[in-house]
Every structure is written in structure tokens, then in C-alpha cells.
Amino acid sequence: MPLSIGINQIIGAITLESFSIPQRILHWLTAALVLFNLLLPDGMNEWKRAIRHTGTATADQVAGANIHAYVGIGILLLVIVRLLLRHKSGVPDAPAEEPAIFTFASKLAHAILYLLLIAMPLTGMAAYYLGYNSAGNIHADVLKVILWAVIGTHVLGALVHQFYWKTNVLRRMTIG
Ligand code: HEM
Ligand code: HEM
């Protein structure tokens, strides 16, 4: 009996209440960079148009495209750090108030987000540096739309937590 109390106390002590500060910083930094590339891809699009129509681009057009490219590569690097941290420090359990089906849906949405944040930069790099137009089409026409849809669902889920189930999910990804 004393042994089982001891184990429960140990498990209680190691259960995570919140994401770690580096995990929280990385989440919001990544979110800001992803929204930047989603909302302001004009420099890259202009470079793409110039290459398609004239086969060449001006130094300004290349500089504009490089901002999109470097931000996207930055996202890929941050996601790799994030996944390593996640593996090392773990994440808090799903809140008990949440129905099981939603726990499954949010885990699925997070997995898809991580996959997209790897696939977007890789397809972009294949198009920009290696000239694979089909990768560019997947990047700009398919993955972009899926990314918007999953981010929309993700934000909606966070709001349902905050205002309907009134859980601490938003808090543990912000002030902790
Ligand atoms: C715009 C781009 C965004 C991306 C790519 C993104 C991505 C992610 C990912 C991958 C996770 C899973 C973390 C993990 O378990 O390792 C996560 C968690 C979370 N995100 Fe976002 N997110 C974005 C925006 C937002 C916004 C705008 C909000 C707030 C409304 C938000 C609120 C949260 C919360 C509260 C969690 C923690 C969920 C939990 O505790 O299970 N995210 N996000
Ligand atoms: C998560 C990171 C990224 C996001 C969210 C993103 C987002 C976008 C968006 C919204 C567009 C415009 C699509 C349209 O106008 O319909 C675009 C186009 C493009 N992006 Fe990215 N991008 C990312 C990373 C990258 C990287 C790392 C590169 C290259 C190094 C890149 C290269 C391109 C290219 C070449 C296009 C034009 C594709 C075409 O029209 O065929 N992107 N990207």
C-alpha cells in the first residue's frame, strides 16, 4: 500500500501541467512565421512569374523571393528543434474535460500540422532551388489549402477549449 501511494506521488510530480517555456516560445514564433509566409508570398510569386515569362529575374525579385525562402527554411529548422524538444521533455496530457473523440482529433490535427510544416518547406525548396514545377504546384495549390484548413480547425479547437469547456489549454501554451 505505501508503495502504491509512493508511485502515485511520483507520477503526479512528473505529470506536466504546461508546455515548457522554450516550447511555448517556439510555438508562437513558428505560428508568426507561418502566417507571414501564408499571407505575404508576393515576393516569391513575383519571382515565379518573372522566371516563367522571361526565364530570368532581377536582383530585387530574387531578394523578395529569398525572404520567403529563408523564412520557410527557418520554419523547418524550428520545427526540427520543436520535435526534438517534444521527444525530450514531453507534452501535457489532454484535459479530462475534453471528450475522447476531440482528444483524438486534436492529436491528429497536431500531427498533420507538423507534417505540413515539414512538407511545405521541402516542396518549396524543390521548386525554388531545383526547378521542380510539380513540387511548386503541390506547395502552392494543394498543401497551402490544407494548411489553412488545419490552422482554422486548430484555432477553432483552442477557442472551444477556452470558452466552451473552459479548460486551461490556451493558458498552458501562453503564460503557463
Ligand atoms: C498559425 C499557425 C499555428 C501552427 C502551425 C500551430 C501549430 C501547433 C502545433 C503543431 C501544436 C502541437 C504542440 C505539441 O503537442 O507538440 C500546437 C499546440 C497548440 N496551439 Fe497552435 N499553432 C498555430 C496557431 C495557433 C493559434 C493562433 C492558437 C490560439 C488561438 C494556437 C493555440 C494552440 C494551443 C492552445 C496549443 C496546445 C494544445 C494542447 O495543449 O494540446 N495555435 N499548435
Ligand atoms: C511553412 C513554410 C512555407 C509556407 C507557409 C509557404 C507558403 C507559400 C504560399 C502561400 C505561396 C503562394 C501560393 C499562391 O499564391 O497560391 C507560396 C509559393 C511559393 N513558395 Fe512557399 N511557403 C513556405 C516555404 C517555402 C520555402 C522554404 C521555399 C523555398 C526555399 C518556398 C518556395 C515557394 C515557391 C517557389 C513558390 C511559388 C510556387 C508556384 O507558384 O509554383 N516556400 N509559398
18 secondary structure, DSSP code: S
Mutation probe of ligand 1 site: the residue of 24, 154, 167 with most atoms within 8 A of C-beta? 154
User: For residue 9, is it within any domain?
Assistant: no
State pLDDT tens for residues 58-83: 999 999 999 999 999 999 999 999 99
How many folded domains does the chain comprise? 1
User: For residue 144, is it within any domain?
Assistant: yes
User: For residue 14, is it within any domain?
Assistant: no
Mutation probe of ligand 2 site: the residue of 38, 62, 114, 139 with most atoms within 8 A of C-beta? 139
Which residues does 176 contact at the CB level (< 8 Å), separation at least 6? 17, 18, 19, 21, 24
Q: Is the CB of 48 under 6 A from ligand 1?
A: no
Give the nearest ligand 2 atom to 34 CA.
5
Residue 9 pLDDT exceeds 60: no
In the structure, what pLDDT confidence band is assigned to residue 6 with cuts at 50, 70 and 90? very low
User: For residue 149, is it within any domain?
Assistant: yes
Expressed as residue numbers, the domain containing 126 is 19-90+100-172
For residue 20, what is its C-alpha cell? 515548457
User: For residue 8, is it within any domain?
Assistant: no
For residue 156, what is its C-alpha cell? 477553432
User: For residue 55, is it within any domain?
Assistant: yes
